[in-house]
Structure 1
C-alpha cells in the first residue's frame, strides 16, 4: 500500500511539473496566428492574399500557408479566426495636423453636412451655442469651433463678426476655416488677438474688412492668422494628457497607426514630446516643424535628432508653406481666378506665403542639414516655386533621392509631374476635394482644371508613388472615404469630377499603406505584410477590393493593432 501511495505521489508530482512546463511554454510563446479571412499583403503591383499571418513580439513572423504558419508559431500559440473578415496593413497618414485632434473634444463641429450640421450661418451659430451650453463655458472664456466652409454657404451669406457678436456678446469666439489657414473671429476675439482697423494686412495675409470701413469683418487668413496660434489658451497638465489620448483614439478608430503633425510649431512639438516622454503615445507621430521655427528648433534639437523614433515620436523634416487653399482663393496660380479674390480683388492669382528668394534660401537651409522637406503647395504657381527652390537648393544634384514631398499638389500640371519624376519628388495628393470642394473649384477655376485635381492615375502612370491624405481636420480622418474618393471621384452633387483620373481600389490602398511608408523612409518596416515588419494591422468589416466601389466609404474599422497590441476595437 505504501509503495502504491508513493507511486501515485511521484506521478502527481510529475504531472504537476508537466503542467507547469506546458503553462510556462504557453506564457513564453506569445505568437498569434490570424487566419480564416481575406489577408491582403499589399505586396506587388496587383492584390496578393495569404492564408495566415503569424505575429510575435510586435512583429510579423510569417505570412503565407496556414499549416506552415501554425508550425512556425510553435506550441501554445494563440489562434484568431477572422471569420471571413479582412486583415491588412494598418493605414499610414501621409498628411494631417495631429495637434488639432487634441482639442476637438472641446470645440464645436461647425462643418456642413455630411461631416456636421452647420449648413448655413444659423447652423454654425447653433453648433457654437450647443457647445457653450454642454461645456458650461462662462462669460469671458474663448469659444472655439472648427470646419467652417464658406464655399457651401447658401446664397453667398458668409459668417462674419456681426453674426457672432449678436449671438455671443460676452465671449470671444473663433471659428476655424475648413482650410485651417484662417478663422472667423467676433469683436471680442479680434480685440483679444490684437486686430483693429489700424492693423495692416501683412504680405501673404488676408484681413477681410467690413464694407465701407477699415474694420476687420471677422475672416483672418494665411500669414495674418499665424500669430494667433501662439496666443491660444494652454490646457492644464491633466487636460493635456487626456487630450493626447483622445486625439490618438480618433486616428486609431480610423485604422491609422502612424499620424503626421504637419507644419508644427515649437509648442506643438513640445506637447507631443511630452506625450512621448511619459510614454503616452500608442501610435507613431511624425512631426514636421514649420520653417519659421527653423532657428528655434535647432537650438533645442540637432539634425541627428531627426528621422528616428523616440517612444513613438519622430521629427520627420521641415515644412515650408508656399500658398493657401484653392477653396479659400488663397492658393497661387499662374492664371487668374474666375471669381476674383477673397476681398474682391480683380485678376487675382492668389499669393505666395514667401518670396521665391526666401523659399530658395529656406529649402537650402533644410537640404544643407541633410533633412527631408515637405512643401505645402496647391496652385500650379506655388508648385512652380517649389520646383525652382529645389533646383536652387540641391547644390547641382537635383535628382538625389531626398523624398521631398509636395503636400496637396492639387492643381499640378502634367509638365510639373514630369519634374517630380526627374527630381524624385513625391506628390501627396488630396482626392477628397473631388467630393468636398469640387463645386468651389469648378466655380473658381473652371471645369477643365478642376477635373485634373489630384491626378492619381496620371501620377501612377508616370512611375510616381503618390500618397493620398485627409489634411485632418480639414476633412475627417476616414481612410475608407479617402479610398472611395480616389476610386470614384464623385462630388457632393453626385457628379463625376475627372473620370480619367479614377484609380483601382488596390492602387488607392497603396497610397495610404506602402507608398505612405515610403514617403516617411519607413518602407522597410511598415506598409505591407512581410516577415520582420511591424505588426501594424487593421481589420475592416469588409474587403475594399471586393465590394461595390460606391460602397467603399461604408466600410468600418473593427479593430486596429499597433505592434501586435490592439489599440482600438469597435464596440
Structure 2
C-alpha cells in the first residue's frame, strides 16, 4: 500500500510548496534524551524474574522438531540470562528473583508486524469505513463508532456510506464545499461471480457516473440521480488497496483541475483531446453514456495521461489535488502526519490503536514507510513517551521520495539522512529506529495496477488491462530513484532496502535494478537486507515462469560485473544479494477468489483454476523449498493486524468467493500440480512473524527468538499454536506482552464478546 499526499516528485512538490498540506509551521516532534544510564546494547529498568511451568517456544531453530522446549527462562534487566530447570535458575539468579507461573500457558518471542501504516489508519478514523471483511470469527474492525455489518456487495457499500454519520467532511467555512468521503471500498472482492461481474466492470470503468447515481448528495437523503455536476457534492472514496481513488466530476472542479463542467452537445459522440481537463482548464465536456476526460496512470513526473475520463485515479501521487482540496475545506493542520487530523488529535487517539495491535501479541511495529518527516517523528515520539514502561517497539522505513514537513527546501535524500538512526538507538533503548528506505515499483493486484509480465484476464474483473500499466518507474528511473540509498559515497549511513512489488514484472524489474546498482558501486557491495513486500504474483505456470526462480538466483549467485574503466573485458565478482520477501496473507483470504478472476478469468462458481497465475499467489511453500525466507504482514489498513491469523491463513490457504463473503463458505485456494500446494507448516508460519521480520529489519541480534543475551521481547499465549488445531489458531489469546522485559497486560477485550472473568482466569499470571 502507498497512500499519501506527499509521495510526489520534486517538480510537483515545488509547485505545491505553498499548499496547505505541504508547508508546515508546527514545530517538529523532538527526540527523547537518554538518561545516560543505559548502554547502547541493553535496555534498562527491569527486574529479575523466572518464567516457568508452561511451554517455552524459542523459535531459534529451523523446524519444530528441533525445538528443545526449556523448562524455565531467567530474565534480568530486560535481558535473557539463562534457560534451565527452575531450581538451577533460582540458584543462579539469587535472592529477590520473582517467579512467574505460566500455569500451562505458552511463552514465545513477541510478534513482529513488519508492514503497517499506523499514522494513516489514525487519519482515516474521521471518515466512513467501507472495508469488506471476513465473517465471524475472523472479522476485525478498528473503527467502532460505525454500526452495521461489513458490506458484501456494491449496493451494501453504497448503503453503508449513505447511512453513515461520518460520510461528509466537516467545514466551518462556507467558502469551501462539503465532501462525501470514505475509505475501503473494494470492488475487486465484490464481483468474482458470473452473476455480477458486469456490474463491477461498470463501476471500475466509470466510477464517476456510478458514484453520482448511487451516493447521496451531502445535502440530500438520496442521490441527485443526475449527470449535472453542479447538483452533486464532490465525492472521493479510497480503495481498500490504498492504490486507487474513485472520484466524481464535481471533485475535479472542486480540486481545481477544472473550473467548470458542461454537458456535451448531442452531436458529439466522443470527446476530443481539447475538451478534457487539465489540458483545457476552462471546462470539461462529458456525455451520459461515455464519459471523457482524464484517467491518470502513475508516472514519476506525472506526465502520462490518457484521454478517457473515468473518475478512477491510480496511485497516490495523483490523489494530491483531491486530498489537498479536502484538507483545505476542513482546515486541516499543516504538516500533520495524520492528514485529516491535527498532530495533537492523532497523538491523543494513537494509544487506542496501539493497544488494539498489542492485543494481537505484537511487540514490534514497522511503519512502511514515512511519506513525510513528521510521520517519522510521530513514531519517534511514541517511543519516547513510553520509554519508561514500553508497550511497543517502533521502526519506520523512509519513502525514497519523502517530503519535508517543515517546509524547508531539502531533497528527499537530505530529509532521509536527517532522520537516519542507528539500528539500536541508545536514546530510546532501542525502541525506535529509522535506517531503511521503501520504494514502490507498482500498484496493487486487486486494484488492477500491479506490474505483471502478462496482461490481466480479458474475461475477468480487470477486463484485459495491460500488465505494464502498473509500472511506476519506466526505464532506468527505478535505479535512479534508489541510487542515492544504495551505498552512497557521500555519507557513511547505510540503508536497508524494502521494495513494494506485487507483480512478477515488478519483482524482475527490482532485481535487475539491484544488479545494475551493485555493479555501478565502486566501493563495497551492498550486503544489507533487501525485502520484496507482497511479492503477490509468483509467476505464470502456463508459461513456465517463476519469479521465485529469479529471487533464488539473486540470492545464491555472485554478480559478474564488467570493469569498464580498467578493462572492458574483465569481470569483477560482487556479493550476492540478501533478498527475502514479505507476504500479505489477506491476499489469499480476502482476495484469493477475486485474483482468480483478475489474473485468470476463472474462479467463478464451479470453475477450476489449477493452471492459472492465482495458484502462485504468495508462494510460500515454493520459497521455503529454495530457502528463501519470508515474513507475514497486514499492510494495515489493507487488512487487520493479527499474526496468529496470518499463521492459520498461510497453513490453510482458505479464501472466500462473492457472494459468500460473510458466511462460513470458505474454499481452498487452487494449486498447480507441478508447483504443488503452497500451504506451509505452523512453525514456518510462526517464523514469519518472529525471526524472519527481525532479520529483515536488522533486529535479529536483539529480538525475534528466545536466546541467551537477547532482549526480552515476549508474548504469553493462553495456548500453544504448535499444538492447536490449525483452524483454531486464530482463537488463541495473547495474555501479556513484554518489551525490554517490561510486562503489559493485553488480554482485556475492547469489544466484550466473551465472559470477562473467563478471560481473566485463562490469562491470569501470578506476580505480574
Matched, 1:514 2:576: no
Matched, 1:496 2:546: no
TM-score when normalising by structure 1: 0.85
Given the superposition, is the C-alpha separation of residues 535 and 348 from structure 1 closer, same or farther in structure 2, using an over 3 Å criterion?
A: closer
For structure 1, the residue ranges without an aligned partner over 5 or more in a row are 1-27, 207-212
Q: Which residue of 1 aligns with 2:450?
A: 331
Work out which structure has the larger RCO, using CA pairs closer than 8 Å and 6 or more positions apart in sequence: 2
Given the superposition, is the C-alpha separation of residues 340 and 187 from structure 1 closer, same or farther in structure 2, using an over 3 Å criterion?
A: same
Per mean C-alpha deviation after superposition, the further-off stretch among 394-403 and 346-355 is 394-403
Q: Is the Cα–Cα contact under 8 Å of residues 442 and 450 in structure 2 kept in the other structure?
A: yes
Given the superposition, is the C-alpha separation of residues 542 and 120 from structure 1 closer, same or farther in structure 2, using an over 3 Å criterion?
A: same
Q: Which residue of 1 aligns with 2:591?
A: 437
Q: Which residue of 2 aligns with 1:275?
A: 382
Q: Which residue of 2 aligns with 1:479?
A: 643
Take 2:694 and 2:531, find their aligned partners in 1: how far apart are those partners?
Answer: 13
Give the one of 67, 70, 75 matched to 1:55.
75
- Secondary structure of the structure 1 residue equivalent to 2:70: strand
Task: Tell me by how many angstroms 1:464 deviates.
Answer: 1.8
- Secondary structure of the structure 2 residue equivalent to 1:464: coil
Per mean C-alpha deviation after superposition, the further-off stretch among 461-470 and 217-226 is 217-226
Q: Which residue of 1 aligns with 2:432?
A: 313
Q: Which residue of 1 aligns with 2:144?
A: none
Give the one of 362, 382, 391 matched to 2:481.
362
Take 2:250 and 2:188, find their aligned partners in 1: how far apart are those partners?
Answer: 25
Per mean C-alpha deviation after superposition, the further-off stretch among 552-561 and 121-130 is 121-130
Q: Which residue of 2 aligns with 1:98?
A: 118
| C-alpha distance after superposition, 1:82-104 (max 9, x if no partner) | 12111101111122222223235
Q: Which residue of 2 aligns with 1:424?
A: 578
| C-alpha distance after superposition, 1:249-286 (max 9, x if no partner) | 23211111111111321142233344345557741221
For structure 2, the residue ranges without an aligned partner over 5 or more in a row are 1-44, 140-148, 221-232, 259-275, 279-293, 301-306, 334-340, 404-410, 489-493, 539-545, 557-576, 601-608, 657-665, 749-768
Task: Tell me by how many angstroms 1:127 deviates.
Answer: 3.8
| C-alpha distance after superposition, 1:129-163 (max 9, x if no partner) | 56526999678665653322111225234464315
Matched, 1:121 2:245: no
Take 2:246 and 2:465, find their aligned partners in 1: how far apart are those partners?
Answer: 23
Q: Which residue of 2 aligns with 1:256?
A: 362
Task: Tell me by how many angstroms 1:319 deviates.
Answer: 0.8
Task: Tell me by how many angstroms 1:107 deviates.
Answer: 3.7
Given the superposition, is the C-alpha separation of residues 331 and 552 from structure 1 closer, same or farther in structure 2, using an over 3 Å criterion?
A: same
Q: Is the Cα–Cα contact under 8 Å of residues 106 and 716 in structure 2 kept in the other structure?
A: yes
Superposed CA RMSD in Å reads 3.1
Q: Is the Cα–Cα contact under 8 Å of residues 718 and 733 in structure 2 kept in the other structure?
A: yes
| C-alpha distance after superposition, 1:481-511 (max 9, x if no partner) | 1101111111113223436211110010001
Take 1:471 and 1:458, find their aligned partners in 2: how far apart are those partners?
Answer: 22
| C-alpha distance after superposition, 1:226-255 (max 9, x if no partner) | 565667434234312213322322321111
Take 2:747 and 2:716, find their aligned partners in 1: how far apart are those partners?
Answer: 10
- Secondary structure of the structure 2 residue equivalent to 1:117: coil
| C-alpha distance after superposition, 1:527-548 (max 9, x if no partner) | 0111221211112222111111
Matched, 1:31 2:48: yes
Q: Is the Cα–Cα contact under 8 Å of residues 360 and 388 in structure 1 kept in the other structure?
A: no
Give the one of 207, 212, 215 matched to 1:162.
212
Per mean C-alpha deviation after superposition, the further-off stretch among 56-65 and 195-204 is 195-204
- Secondary structure of the structure 2 residue equivalent to 1:350: helix
Take 1:532 and 1:79, find their aligned partners in 2: how far apart are those partners?
Answer: 20
**Post-superposition, which runs of at least 4 consecutive aligned residues in structure 1 deviate over 6 A?**
133-136, 340-343
Task: Tell me by how many angstroms 1:336 deviates.
Answer: 1.1
TM-score when normalising by structure 2: 0.64
Task: Tell me by how many angstroms 1:172 deviates.
Answer: 5.6
Given the superposition, is the C-alpha separation of residues 29 and 226 from structure 1 closer, same or farther in structure 2, using an over 3 Å criterion?
A: closer
Q: Which residue of 2 aligns with 1:17?
A: none
Give the one of 516, 520, 530 matched to 1:404.
530
User: How many pairs does the alignment contain?
Assistant: 538
Q: Which residue of 2 aligns with 1:6?
A: none
Given the superposition, is the C-alpha separation of residues 134 and 38 from structure 1 closer, same or farther in structure 2, using an over 3 Å criterion?
A: farther
Given the superposition, is the C-alpha separation of residues 543 and 104 from structure 1 closer, same or farther in structure 2, using an over 3 Å criterion?
A: farther
Q: Is the Cα–Cα contact under 8 Å of residues 46 and 741 in structure 2 kept in the other structure?
A: no
Given the superposition, is the C-alpha separation of residues 126 and 556 from structure 1 closer, same or farther in structure 2, using an over 3 Å criterion?
A: farther
